[in-house]
Amino acid sequence: MAKVISDLDDAISYINSLYNLGVTPPAEGDDDYVLWTSLINMSVNLWETEEGVLWNELFVKLADAATGDKVTSGGTNSYDCPDDFVFPASAYIWLGYGTTKSAYKVIDVKRLTLRENDTGKWCYFINGALEFNPNLAVPDNYTISYDYYKTATALSGGSDTFEMSDPLFAVYYVVGELKKEEGDTSALQIASQKMEAMKTRNIMPPWLADDDNLTDSIEEGLG
């Protein structure tokens, strides 16, 4: 199902309808547009930092990142992570060249002292950088591949899109904040419901994903 709201302009329009009951929403640069955008980004931060949740939308691949080193350089064992990097989501880092791929195990940085003379294929993350075993020569011009968990992206331009699965959470949060001084908390209550619904969807497995017996039966039937 497509999102009812996709980008910042959509959200501003919805907020205008709910809060001002108006037809014409504020234009980019108007005071209300700037204020509402700030409140929207507060809601993005609340969504991002919701306790006990790792959002599926924030797991991404290095290949899709706008920043971060993606190719090795001979003699270099340290590589910058993307600017939005939080932590690795892979147990291994892969270096690839053509059909050749090598796996490097990600280790806990606290265990480095146990590996001072180790020549195994391992690496670790520290201070926004990917570090390969200093006792190894990293091959030149190999593609670096790994998955990672990112920070949520703030919205600024009208065409900037939401990462959260239900941007109506942001809309009702903003309307609720705007109406809070009037004693009207109904929109904030709806926002809370939207958050809980996103949390539920976030942990739901794909249909039949855990039913191995049924999946095997279907595959046998198709075969």
Q: Please state, in angstroms and rounded to a whole number, the distance separating the CA atoms of residues 142 and 138.
A: 9
**Alpha-carbon separation of residue 162 from 29, 126, 198 (angstroms):** 20, 29, 13
Q: Please state, in angstroms and rounded to a whole number, the distance separating the CA atoms of residues 223 and 218.
A: 9
Q: Are 129 and 80 in contact (CB under 8 A)?
A: yes
Look at the block and give the residue holding tokens 């590589």. 79
pLDDT the model gives residue 194:
98
pLDDT the model gives residue 113:
86
- Hey, what are 69's tokens? 């080193």
Mean pLDDT by runs of 10 across the 223 residues of the chain is 78 96 92 98 98 97 98 96 97 95 95 88 96 95 98 97 97 97 95 98 77 50 48
Q: Please state, in angstroms and rounded to a whole number, the distance separating the CA atoms of residues 5 and 15.
A: 11
Quick one: CA torsion of 169, 171, 175, 176, rounded to 10 degrees? 10
Element containing residue 99 per DSSP (H, E): none
Look at the block and give the residue holding tokens 């091959």. 139
**Alpha-carbon separation of residue 222 from 91, 209, 216 (angstroms):** 34, 17, 10
Q: Which residues pair with 71 in a beta bridge?
A: 143
143 half-sphere exposure, CB direction, 13 A CA radius: 12
Binning the chain into helix, strand and coil, the percentages to the nearest 5 are: 40, 20, 40
